[in-house]
Amino acid sequence: MSTEQYDAYPYPPRSPKDEAKRLITGSPSHPTEIDTHLFGGRRDWSKPFRALVAGGGTGDALVMMAQVLSRAQVPYEITYLDLSTAARAVAEARITARGLSGVTFVTGSLLDAADHGPFDYIDCCGVLHHLDDPRAGLSALAAALAPAGGIGFMVYARDGRAGVYALQDAFRALLPDGPPAERLEAAKKILTTVPEGHPFRRNPNLGDHLNSEAGRYDLLLHSQDRAYAADEWIAELSGAGLELTRWVAPALYDLSMVQPVPEGMDAITAMAVAEKLRGTITKHVGYAQKLGEVATPITQPALTLVPHLEAPRAELAKAVAARKALKLTVQGVTFRLKLPEAAAGVLRRVDGRASLAEIAGGVKLDAITFQSLWTRIHEALMATGSLRYSSLKLR
């Protein structure tokens, strides 16, 4: 994969000056989310954590992990790996701006990931779908994993990106060569001639081309870009000796939430059908581990675990107390979740530091009543990626 694009337009566009006023967080790779999906919420964070950011770009995942782990006083070593020196310079400057340590910067290919491992965790976000051979990339990452370790991934989904690939094909034919800046200016002019009825113009799920020059180039002019249906991505993982551990928001792929599942339909086919019926999914985000090493999902969380909410707890509690359905939107799909009014008092106490046992004591519920209530909360919020578990205590 050529670095010309990323040297001209480091992606995503970031300014190290902004580190003083905000921390960009997301999925995958937040430490509490890693703990939830790869370690059952039970990782011993007193032990060193070794991570690789494979294709780290301008450093969003790197900065998030380093900052969260540093605040939690977790010993960590993170290796940043990317081919683009321009993107690396931005990532390094962001780490410097925050005064963080424990990061090793390497200019190189993720195909050589095993040379730097083994790793407890590998972030690979927005990279594999740009490789000539994505499966070779996945296999290289799998070879760099420590036992029971895992990968957090993001790859493009096809249906939610309607119109993108028609334009990419057209621009490759019309603008095959030239400096990136010239190609982008020419593409912007051509784009003004695209009619309103074109699938790209009618697609409300796309936004990168509206936010920055780097976003426009990455969306419309990337030299190597492919997208996956859910079942195709699962097959790609399997071909590299990996298995899907969990989607971050499994409700997106739950066919039973859209239509009755036909008798005899297997789980992977059902996911793919749900994706087609949703039609808005632009990216697949989740976690994977080696075949035979997949972590047991959290179904009945132990009272010793600390729950963490992705959505603001005050807003969730206020809606529940008012007997309103929680409206959580994920990739263009709005889920309306109804919880008992008693759940409001519980949600107010989920502060990222109190264990479930401490929360139960604070609301003065007996163990059986609390467990029943928490099960309702757990099932609703885990499905949308809004709840995590970890022994990490964060403010």
Q: Is the predicted pLDDT of residue 196 greater than 90, yes or no?
A: yes
Tens-place pLDDT, residues 14-54 = 999 999 999 999 999 999 999 999 999 999 999 999 999 99
pLDDT at 211: 85
pLDDT at 1: 59
Evaluate whether 4-156+228-290 and 306-390 have a shared fold.
no
Tens-place pLDDT, residues 271-322 = 999 999 999 999 999 999 999 999 999 998 989 999 999 888 999 999 999 9
Q: Is the predicted pLDDT of residue 385 greater than 90, yes or no?
A: yes
Choose the CATH number for 4-156+228-290 among 3.30.200.20, 3.30.300.30, 3.40.50.150, 3.30.70.790.
3.40.50.150
Sequence ranges of the domains in the chain: 4-156+228-290, 160-220, 306-390
Among 328, 119, 90, which residue's Cα sits nearest to residue 214? 90
Q: For residue 177, which phi and psi values (nearest 5 degrees)?
A: -135, 170
Alpha carbon of 82 to those of 53, 97, 104: distances in Å? 8, 20, 12
What is the CATH T-level fold of the domain 306-390, as seen in this structure? Answer: Outer Surface Protein A; domain 3 (3.90.930)
Tens-place pLDDT, residues 73-112 = 999 999 999 999 999 999 999 999 999 999 999 999 999 9
